[in-house]
Amino acid sequence: MKKALLLLLVGVLFAPMLSLIGVGVLVNPAVTNQAMCIASGVVLGPVPDSLEVTTRDGTTFTLKRQQLTHAATITETGARTPGVGRDGIIIALMAALTESTLRQLANTGAYPESGEFPNDGNGSDHDSLGLFQMRPVAGWGTVAELMDTGYQARAFYGGPDGPNYPSPRGLLDIPGWQQMDKGEAAQAVEVSAYPDRYQNYEPVARAILQALTPGGGSGGSGVPGDASIPETTGLVFPLPNGTYTHTSDFGWRSDPFTGERSFHAGTDWAAADGTPIFALADGVVTYAGMVGGTSGQITIEHTIDGERIASVYIHMWAHGIHVQAGDRIAAGQHIGDVGSSGRSTGPHLHFQLHPGGAGASPVDAIPWLADHGVEGLDAPTSGGPGCAF
């Protein structure tokens, strides 16, 4: 009886802790039937048992569940990495398809210990390892790190938070990668002796992403069909008049934390902690929560002038998020409060616009808002509170 009471007490004390741990652990998409909502708006569903695909040159082959599980890891990692978007995920899939056919390869000839880690076979290209055939001697990581598929995906995307920053360069470290041909962008990261191979796998990468993300044709938002989001009744600037200062523009700039040149995917407006944040337009919330447990974010999908547009609001505190995924909201609705969560130097709103949906690349919000007659824009100051992405 005493033992039973002790077990019950332990369960009561530790159950909340375990539930919190469960929230932070990535659910393996291969074993769940529940679609996973990702911060960028991409929705990762269950992994198929197999998928028949065709390359640009007409070669058809079948990907197995394990390969598609690795593709899901690449997709999930990219979707949670600010600035990557759907295009960046496609580039990463193209690179992994070309380098390893989405197999986590050991290389026991160069590193005998690599065979002791989970793998899908043995490669023999110099001292390359894993999905992206990264080389320890080139600085990509240790053997143990490169035999981790999640680490390889993070390294490929790179950026200020990448494990290999600032060198070797990941995708986010390549100036103007968004304007490159996708094969050229993959080559810029991989620096392969055969630079023309990557383009051949673009149709395969797109087919994989479509299979892994339900509603992929709607811009990766998870909202089925444009008809489910009626044309907005109006547009509203996301902060109240007179409460904010424009502190940082969209585009290349010096990272406020590292001083390194980096790409800023949004526009920053400094405002007092707790200042109300308004929805740009009528729409549906596709994400509302803490990204990585640290940075508050709301993503809303809209239909504006017949086009799917996603607006993204970042750096709210957890208590400053007033909507949840699935909510239908109106233009000007109070959706959250200004905060300074995540990689932020002070209270401000980081605002992004994604024509085509949350999975598409962001654009400069200032000219877009001006072109659509949204009032409330001001000139940038010499600096102030901002963020690292």
- Domains and their CATH numbers in the chain: 29-214 (no CATH), 226-371 (2.70.70.10)
Give the C-alpha separation, 115 to 44, whole Å: 30
Q: What's the pLDDT score for residue 16?
A: 41
Burial of residue 306 (CB within 10 Å: 0-12, 13-18, 19+) is exposed
Give the C-alpha separation, 293 to 283, whole Å: 25
254 CB neighbour count, 10 Å cutoff: 11
Q: What's the pLDDT score for residue 341?
A: 93
For 300-348, write each residue's pLDDT tens digit. Answer: 999 999 999 999 999 999 999 999 888 889 999 999 999 999 889 999 9
Give the C-alpha separation, 175 to 328, whole Å: 37
Secondary element (H or E) of residue 169: none
Q: Hey, which residues does 65 pair with through a beta bridge?
A: none
Q: Which residues lie closer than 8 Å to 176 by C-beta, 6 or more apart? A: none
Q: What's the pLDDT score for residue 167?
A: 94
Residue burial 20-42, b: 16+ Cβ < 10 Å; e: rest: eeeeeeeeebbeeeeebbbbbbb
For 33-57, write each residue's pLDDT tens digit. Answer: 334 445 555 667 788 899 999 999 9
What are the residue ranges in the chain where pLDDT is below 50?
A: 1-37, 215-227, 388
Q: Which residues lie closer than 8 Å to 322 by C-beta, 6 or more apart? A: 334, 335, 336, 337
Q: What's the pLDDT score for residue 21?
A: 33
User: Average per-residue pLDDT in the chain?
Assistant: 83
Q: What's the pLDDT score for residue 389?
A: 54
Q: What's the pLDDT score for residue 14?
A: 41
Give the C-alpha separation, 64 to 31, whole Å: 15
Give the C-alpha separation, 152 to 128, whole Å: 12
pTM to 2 decimal places: 0.54
